[in-house]
């Protein structure tokens, strides 16, 4: 089989890249080792930057997002006794949207399959070859168990943190940076109307809590927990009572409801450079991970793909390599900005048990909610810096 761009991974990065390439008339095949149901059900991010919404719209998959997505014009930052609102349009002229990653992925898969373009689900043995030639190949075993070869002009490694693409970089050319945080998030999805109009990020001496949402009838909430914590030790009652305790404010009440999904996610920062080797280009979690506090993971994957799509269009349609050569440095500039912002939000909001650090965090929270300059800096990072 032959295609112009072999895309590994049907997450947001791979699927959006395929869609944007198709709009430009560039052929691709998406290879995914999980099933369609699994990929569409994986609960992850929930906040889209304006630039992400614009790009999805431009790619022709914005229709349901505009109908069902919830525009948020700010967030609440909370510390005991204070819940303060940051008004994003007033601070930086932009908003964000609550619309689940599961929905983005579903919209992209539906659009691609409806247009008769290929996604190979449930493949195995994904292996990349000849990346330093202009005829790279991907070999794999298809869902029926038959060995397959995909010949391409370019391979896009959009296979997330655990995928094989990043491991193809020669060790002497690759540099990595990592930070593991001493806490994790216990996340739940619940069939209950959100108890807030916009997200609440709450600092609390017993640990951070976040109230987010997926729709007018589905809430998404998180608790900071120990990374070694087991889900079994968190009954529904314990989860709701800890959320109510950490999110408590004056006479505000947290509404509870049936929990439909729960998981514990460790938190880390990770960056790998360069994001290109020969005819292999990395995008999204394949090259970098951020802790979720800044709501940046999905948006960064989308920003990579916006740059990569332009670079591949210039390379494949016009034989111009300047953008492809500039891709890694351009993407990494944004990656490091988001890495810093995510680390900063994480450091400001999570309790470490160190009394000195708690006072610094409370001072920072007072500052960011009272100084227009500090609030503006948070707002422009949270809503997303311009692509270029
Ligand atoms: P992914 O979504 O990881 O997609 C990669 C795809 O590649 C997957 O479908 C995978 O199955 C496939 N793949 C892997 N190996 C192979 C192979 N060998 N062959 C073929 N295909 C392969 N971000 C937030 O902003 N907020 C959150 O609350 C949040 N929660 C998260 C929870 C979890 C458990 C995780 C893992 C991430 C979370 N993130 C969150 C981050 C965000 O979801 C990611 O940044 C986003 O999914 C990145 O998209 P991606 O397409 O780069 O990678
Ligand atoms: C989510 O809704 O899942 C979510 C929102 C904001 C974050 C992280 C996760 O910072």
Cα-to-centroid distance, 285 and ligand 1 (Å): 6
End-to-end CA distance of the chain: give it in Å, rounded. 36
Q: What is the pLDDT of residue 285?
A: 98
Question: Which ligand places an atom closest to the C-alpha of 122?
Answer: 1
Q: How many CB atoms lie within 10 A of CB 147?
A: 9
Cα-to-centroid distance, 298 and ligand 1 (Å): 8
Cα-to-centroid distance, 219 and ligand 2 (Å): 11
387 by Cβ neighbours in 10 Å (0-12 / 13-18 / 19+) ranks as middle
Statement: residue 166 has pLDDT above 90: yes
Residues lining ligand 2, judged by CB closer than 6 Å? 45-47, 199, 212, 220, 292-293, 295
DSSP letter at 2? B
- As a whole number, the mean pLDDT across the chain is 97
Is 292 catalytic? The answer is yes
**pTM for the whole thing?**
0.97
Question: Cα(294)–Cα(269) distance, rounded to whole angstroms?
Answer: 12
Q: What is the pLDDT of residue 127?
A: 98
Q: How many CB atoms lie within 10 A of CB 89?
A: 13
- Of 78, 280, 244, nearest to 170 (Cα)? 280
pLDDT band at 385 (very low <50, low <70, confident <90, very high): confident
Question: For the segment 125-147, what is each residue's pLDDT rounded down to a tens digit?
Answer: 999 999 999 999 999 999 999 99
Question: Cα(337)–Cα(335) distance, rounded to whole angstroms?
Answer: 6
Statement: residue 279 has pLDDT above 90: yes
Statement: residue 388 has pLDDT above 80: no
Question: For the segment 85-119, what is each residue's pLDDT rounded down to a tens digit?
Answer: 999 999 999 999 999 999 999 999 999 999 999 99
Is 76 catalytic? The answer is no
Strands (E), 93-206: 96-98, 118-120, 124-129, 137-141, 147-151, 154-157, 175-190, 200-202
Statement: residue 387 has pLDDT above 80: no
Question: Cα(221)–Cα(213) distance, rounded to whole angstroms?
Answer: 7
Report the nearest-CA residue for atom 7 of ligand 2: 295
Question: Cα(133)–Cα(153) distance, rounded to whole angstroms?
Answer: 9
Q: Are 187 and 265 in contact (CB under 8 A)?
A: yes
Residue with tokens 């810096």: 385
Q: What is the pLDDT of residue 296?
A: 97
Ligand 1 contact via 207 beta carbon (within 6 Å) = no
């Amino acid at each position: 089989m032959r295609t112009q761009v072999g895309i590994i991974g049907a997450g947001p990065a791979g699927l959006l890249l395929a869609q944007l390439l198709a709009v430009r008339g560039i052929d691709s095949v998406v290879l995914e080792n999980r099933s369609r149901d699994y990929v569409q059900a994986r609960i992850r991010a929930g906040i889209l930057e304006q630039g992400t919404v614009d790009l999805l719209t431009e790619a022709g998959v914005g229709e349901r997002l505009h109908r069902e997505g919830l525009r948020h014009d700010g967030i609440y930052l909370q510390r005991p006794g204070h819940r303060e609102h940051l008004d994003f349009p007033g601070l930086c002229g932009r908003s964000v949207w609550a619309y689940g990653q599961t929905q983005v992925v579903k919209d992209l898969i539906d659009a691609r399959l409806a247009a008769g373009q290929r996604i190979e689900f449930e493949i195995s043995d994904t292996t990349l070859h000849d990346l330093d030639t202009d005829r790279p190949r991907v070999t794999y075993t298809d869902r029926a168990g038959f060995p397959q070869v995909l010949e391409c002009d370019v391979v896009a490694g959009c296979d997330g943190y655990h995928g094989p693409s990043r491991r193809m970089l020669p060790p002497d050319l690759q540099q990595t940076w990592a930070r593991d945080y001493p806490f994790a998030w216990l996340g739940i999805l619940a069939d209950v109307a959100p108890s807030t109009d916009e997200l609440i990020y709450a600092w609390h001496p017993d640990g951070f809590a976040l109230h987010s949402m997926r729709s007018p009838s589905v809430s998404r909430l998180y608790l900071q927990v120990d990374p070694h914590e087991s889900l079994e030790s968190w009954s529904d009652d314990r989860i709701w009572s800890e959320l109510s305790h950490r999110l408590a404010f004056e006479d505000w009440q947290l509404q509870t409801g049936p929990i439909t999904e729960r998981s514990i996610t460790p938190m880390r920062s990770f960056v790998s450079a360069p994001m290109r080797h020969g005819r292999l280009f990395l995008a999204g979690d394949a090259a970098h991970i951020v802790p979720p506090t800044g709501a940046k993971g999905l948006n960064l994957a989308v920003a990579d793909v916006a740059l990569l799509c332009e670079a591949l269009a210039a390379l494949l349609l016009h034989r111009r390599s300047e953008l492809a050569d500039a891709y890694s440095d351009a993407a990494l500039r944004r990656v490091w900005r988001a890495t810093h912002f995510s680390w900063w939000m994480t450091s400001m909001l999570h309790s470490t048990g160190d009394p000195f650090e708690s006072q610094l965090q409370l001072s920072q929270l007072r500052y960011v909610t009272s100084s227009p300059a500090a609030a503006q800096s948070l707002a422009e990072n949270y809503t997303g810096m311009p692509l270029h």
